[in-house]
Structure 1
Amino acid sequence: MISDLTRLLSSLPPATLPPGRTVEPEDGGPPPYWLSDASADPGLWARMRSRHPESGLWPLLLSGLSSDERRPWVAGEVSPADMSSPERHDVAELLARWWAGCTTADEDETSAARAPFGRNWPGLARPGDLAEPPDVLADECVEFLVDGRTRLGLVPAARSADTLAVVGWSSPTNHTGDAGEISAVLRSWEDRFGVRVVGVGFATLNLSVAAPPTSTGHALAVAAEHFAFCPDNVWQGAGSLTAYADQLLGMHSWSFWWD
């Protein structure tokens, strides 16, 4: 049986792609992504992104673990069969559950970090205002992520948010082992903030953002979502939601790292 990935790749015009291969998961199953043999070219990423409506293949910049660049992408250290479908999840409920999990540590330390919010989940942030078309901004962000080691990946996905669930990315396992949950949040961010998934590492995620918060109050609401989504951005980064929110003001790229 021909996989969706193989079928979509075969429909591309000849000589569209550089040398590369499809990658099978370590635990077996059809390959969920194609990976270039050499480092990615920003121009090629943009061309493949522009073809996405017809090709059904979303491009990603894929990077490996610094101590072992084969992990996870070259080695196929992914588990697509273990991931749920993003549409199964209510994003507000999901973030509220993660928020609760992030606020059960030492109360003095936690309350200071999450101020001005309390234990109760503050709710979803309102949508942002688009500064420019999301796909165009994604092309611009790629220029800053290519570092000579990032490879081009192609994933059969209808939207960029779904790519993590499709490939079975499992590296944020200390926070959630289900990339379907991650993709569900990313779908919501695509709709509200013009987000596009651009780069994925071993346990890192880079997004372009066409509608970032531009006011302090809005940035705080977005920061609360980020804290629930990836608490290490605050705990091991800015230290508090207020400091982190300042970093989000007008920023057209968001990055996340899970310990």
Structure 2
Amino acid sequence: MTFALPDGLSPGRFVPLGPTSVWVSDDFPSDVRQLWPRLLDGRREHGLLPLLCWLDEMGKPLGPEEVDAVRLEEVLAADFAEYRRKRLPFWTNPTPAPVPEEEEEGIEPWPHDPGPPFTHWPGLAPRMPVTSACPTPEEAASGLVSELVETAPYGLYDCRLVLVPARRGSDALAVTGWSAEAPLPLLCALLRSWEDRFGAEAVAVFGSELYVSVARPPVEAEHADLLALEHVLSTADNIVDDPPTPFPEYAADLVGRASWSFWWD
């Protein structure tokens, strides 16, 4: 299945993925910073969502019914109970964790992590209100694309622009069947919820890493604690565990933060 394309695209081709297709650029688009706002402005007309992605990380598409089936609060509550059961001995031990043997000498011991300040699942972080001071989700996403181009993280320029036919931005990973080690149905359900509550947009996926723009991040520490727990339960390896960042520090860094990144080993 093919579809009408917006004007001004570089050369590319359609790639079939299950029952649908996506359009993929032949190269990393040199004008991506100028192109991204135009694509987002026209997505209601064209029904296409932009994503920067490594082609070899596209896999079997996930049907929307598989994401719909995730009862997010129920799943996260059960996951937190199991996570807390496993980690509580580490949280209650004030002794810093030793440095792994393979690390070089002179490296400080890992800091003690007291863990999340909850004994039971506390519920989702609340929806952040839309105010005149907030950027739109489209502006936040375009800003993150510009930031990625400026900082050029390893692997960015191996990405291709992928135009995904999907009803909402958070479903782009489901349609492309992103094949990292992430639990894709849960991750897509989280992205849907973050889209609604924080104006979040998935912008890029490469090297098992996900970059998400955030238009309305939490501004209160108590809300950031709740959101940080959601990040932990996404199972991403870089949240708290690698590098080892104590939960309170990770949560504090989410206050006002306009982008999030996750990776899975």
Using the size of structure 2 for normalisation, the TM-score is 0.79
Tell me which residue corresponds to 1:129.
Answer: 129
Deviations 1:2-45 (A, max 9, x none): x2xx1x2xx225x53211122345xxx34542221111322122
3-state DSSP class of the match of 2:210?
Answer: strand
The one-letter code sitting in structure 2 at the alignment partner of 1:137 is: A
Q: CA deviation at 1:116?
A: 1.4
Do structure 1's residue 143 and structure 2's residue 146 form an aligned pair? yes
**1:222–1:155: structure 2 CA closer, same or farther, 3 Å change rule?**
same
The one-letter code sitting in structure 2 at the alignment partner of 1:116 is: P
Tell me which residue corresponds to 1:20.
Answer: 12
2:180 to 168, 171, 177: 171
The separation in 2 between residues aligned to 1:100 and 1:152, in whole angstroms, is 39
Query: What count of residue pairs does the alignment treat as equivalent?
Result: 233
Do structure 1's residue 38 and structure 2's residue 39 form an aligned pair? no
Native 8 Å contact 2:62 2:185 kept in 1: no
3-state DSSP class of the match of 2:195?
Answer: helix
**1:253–1:106: structure 2 CA closer, same or farther, 3 Å change rule?**
closer
The one-letter code sitting in structure 2 at the alignment partner of 1:159 is: R
Do structure 1's residue 161 and structure 2's residue 170 form an aligned pair? yes
Tell me which residue corresponds to 2:251.
Answer: 245
The separation in 2 between residues aligned to 1:37 and 1:245, in whole angstroms, is 39
Do structure 1's residue 194 and structure 2's residue 194 form an aligned pair? no
Greater Cα shift, 241-250 or 104-113: 104-113
Native 8 Å contact 2:186 2:234 kept in 1: no
Tell me which residue corresponds to 1:79.
Answer: 60
Native 8 Å contact 2:63 2:174 kept in 1: no
The separation in 1 between residues aligned to 2:21 and 2:186, in whole angstroms, is 18
1:100 to 67, 81, 92: 81
Do structure 1's residue 58 and structure 2's residue 49 form an aligned pair? yes
Tell me which residue corresponds to 1:109.
Answer: 90
Unpaired runs of 5+ residues, structure 1, are 65-69
Off by >4 Å, runs of 4+ in structure 1:
81-84, 110-113
Q: CA deviation at 1:219?
A: 0.9
The one-letter code sitting in structure 2 at the alignment partner of 1:214 is: V
**1:36–1:98: structure 2 CA closer, same or farther, 3 Å change rule?**
farther
Using the size of structure 1 for normalisation, the TM-score is 0.81
Query: Once the two structures are aligned, what percentage of the paired residues are identical?
Result: 38
Q: CA deviation at 1:50?
A: 1.4
Q: CA deviation at 1:212?
A: 0.5
3-state DSSP class of the match of 2:50?
Answer: strand
3-state DSSP class of the match of 1:16?
Answer: coil
The separation in 2 between residues aligned to 1:170 and 1:103, in whole angstroms, is 28
The separation in 2 between residues aligned to 1:80 and 1:185, in whole angstroms, is 17
Q: CA deviation at 1:257?
A: 0.8
The one-letter code sitting in structure 2 at the alignment partner of 1:53 is: R
2:231 to 226, 235, 241: 226
**1:164–1:209: structure 2 CA closer, same or farther, 3 Å change rule?**
same
Unpaired runs of 5+ residues, structure 2, are 93-112
RMSD: 2.2
Q: CA deviation at 1:91?
A: 1.6
Larger Rg: 2
